[in-house]
Structure 1
Amino acid sequence: MSKWWMRALDSFSEFVDHVNTSLGRESREEWNKRKLQEHYDKLQSLDYLLMSEVLSEVMDFWESGLYHDLVVTYGSRDEILSSRVFKVEELSNNELMVLAKENLLPKSVRTMALKITDVNVFKTMHAFLETIYINYHGPEMTWEDNIHIYFGGCAERLLMGLDKFDEYSRTPRPTKDFFKKLAITQITRKETNEVENNMFLLLLDIESEIFGMGFGDSYNDFSPTMSGFIQLLAGCSAAHNNREFTAPEDIIMAYKTFFKLVKTDITVYRAPQSIVESMPEFTGYLVCDKCGVSHGLGPEDSADDFEDVCDCGGLLVYKESI
């Protein structure tokens, strides 16, 4: 949605608020506060172990300013990381990516309807690892920092340890058997949906309290991506407990893990030096203007050393980043 339309919608909503207030009706802000309290009270009334602890974490997430910082960093991470992106062949060295591709279903209407842990759900994890890493490291990221995010072992620790991810003495290795269990986890039971939906709406209400009810300052895909990440963590909890149907306790464990993760300095997890050395930082790219194939240039390379015509007949154009 363009900024012009965002401003137009904000102006229209403000006009509606003014009319409603003059008629003694709820404003958007008043409605949001009421819904926030309703969702909080509903969750508080549910008799599940650790629910009160997680709700306390929710409030701390809000009041500490960490929620605000996470959303803002999430919205800017693509720009921060844009100087160097992984090529497909480089990610083929990532064992988790290979296991996910081989064992999880691709995104489809069925996986979305049943909330099955599919490849798309799996991909949400690295979006949040990038965001949390930047929050602790700062925006001056190097190519080596990108390598640490994908190959430093934090993802493996999360999948296998959940809220105990920081207690491993060495990085665990997920197995094909674990991914096969993860592939069948789904959120279809009423009581599980109740917990998941109310937690999602509570955080959405808090996001509106932080950034306002308008459209201009919101990051439209933050909440859906976080929901997918929670689904992934809940699926891992279910898989570890040999459950096909994700239970409410798995959703609660997912949030417990999430809130611990966002408060942890994950920059301490470093990729093996052999991985770092196997993927040198590119200083530029030759990109075909016809088929789009790209060739990375290392520090020792020059664009003048290569032919300017691609195998497909297109022209190879130098770009600093892709």
Structure 2
Amino acid sequence: MSMLALRSEIVMVVCPKSFARAGQTGSKSFKLSSGRILELKGVEDISMNMVKNMILELHLPSPGKRFVKFEYQVLCLVAMEKPVSLKPEYIRDEKVKVLQSVLPISLDEVVLGQYEGYKDDPTVSDSSNTPTFATVVMRIHNERWEGVPFILKAGKALNSKKAEIRVQFKDVPGDIFKCKKQGRNEFVIRLQPSEAMYMKLTVKKPGLEMSTIQSELDLSYGMRYQGVPIPEAYERLILDTIRGDQQHFVRRDELRAAWEIFTPLLHRIDDGELKPLPYKPGSRGPEKADELLAKAGYVQTHGYIWIPPTL
């Protein structure tokens, strides 16, 4: 920043601000800072055309405040309509429209968890109900997304550490190839680690028999663009700051709309209406979370593992 000040009459000061606890606190905090930087890596690849016959599942690293600020941003980018242009204000307008269309979250569609051993930390109270895992089903009330569940899932001490968007397509009626046992087709955008996009498809198994197997069409950036530097999140944000591009910053009305969704749920959690369920470290989380996914219509694929290509 000192070099910038010496060469220009304009001095830019960027201060990372913690995400406020609730809407009222957030409004006060906004008087003190220009906005919260959108800390997303790889989300600019989310420019796909969405259709109705799908279920969306978002996997991100950790719950709590980060769960709110990170996942709702990805939700907006996936669900928003195409903006008039790439100007920051048009993009942020569409994100706000998405948040304003989100229905109130039902407690029946929320599962919280706390991994066994969390309270062994001497700095954690034995009576702590702090969640280390969360799964939330969100529903958007508009023409495009009516009936499509958005499943937000995040946790610590799980069986894998990743951040991804998983679009699951519903089964086609009249399954003459008996493909249901193979699982549904999915389009996956991997944000972290190892940025990639791949389409999981049911294809004919090699050989003489007419049987099916799951495979993928994938684009792994490290393989396809060898030697091309991919900037880290803050590298791009600092460059956008210097350029005056604010599309990765949160606007006041966007933050307010987000807290109108999550604050009622957080208050009910604080009041003890929803307590975290125990789960074993290295697992998928509480079993109730998988039951919630199934109830929402998501079908897990068993026996298939996507293996990122290696250099």
**Fold match by TM threshold 0.5:** no
More helix by share: 1
Compute the TM-score of the two structures, normalised by the length of structure 1.
0.24
Structure whose CA Rg is larger: 1
More strand by share: 2
Compute the TM-score of the two structures, normalised by the length of structure 2.
0.24
